[in-house]
Structure 1
Amino acid sequence: MSRPVEYVTDAAAAAAVTSPFWLEALRQASLVAGILVPILGACWLAVQIAHKLRHWNDR
């Protein structure tokens, strides 16, 4: 087995063994991301629309 593949499998095994310890942190991060990502996406869309409207006649 090549060295990079061995590193990946070792990391996956370590993550599987230690997952009960950081599962709650992942759950909280997912909850926060689920709330923030749609809001940030809407803000970014508003920025893009404003930029497009501001530079509409610059062609």
Structure 2
Amino acid sequence: MYNLIDQPFQRVIMTKFPEKGELMYDYAVHGGEIAIVLCWTAIFIFLSYTLLKKRDL
């Protein structure tokens, strides 16, 4: 899960020091990352629902 945001501090450095133009990185969101997030969300919702049904709240 740590890899969902690639190099978050690099973006801050690029905004504070715009002359460092050679530090360009790809910050696009790719399909595989979206699939990972959707899978984790589905697992979380399913397990939360199962827990609520088990506890009979």
Scaled by the length of structure 2, the TM-score of the pair is: 0.54
Based on CA coordinates, which of the two structures has the bigger radius of gyration? Answer: 1
1:14 CA displacement: 3.6
Give yes or no for the alignment of 1:40 onto 2:34: no
SS at match of 1:47: helix
Matched pairs, number = 42
Letter matched to residue 43 of structure 1 = I
Following superposition, the deviation at residue 33 of structure 1 comes to 1.7
| Higher relative contact order, structure no. (Cα contacts within 8 Å, ≥ 6 residues apart) | 2
Question: Which consecutive unaligned segments of at least 5 residues does structure 2 have?
Answer: 1-11
- 2:56 maps to 56
Task: Supply the distance in 1 between the matched residues of 2:16 and 2:37 (Cα, whole angstroms).
Answer: 30
Q: What letter corresponds to residue 50 of structure 1 in structure 2?
A: T
Q: TM-score, normalised by structure 1?
A: 0.52
Residues 5-40 of structure 1: per-residue CA shift (max 9 Å, x gap): xxxxx8214477212xx22xx34xx22321111111
Runs of 4+ residues deviating >4 angstroms? none
Instruction: List gaps (5 residues or longer) in structure 1.
Output: 1-9
What is the aligned-residue identity percentage?
Answer: 5
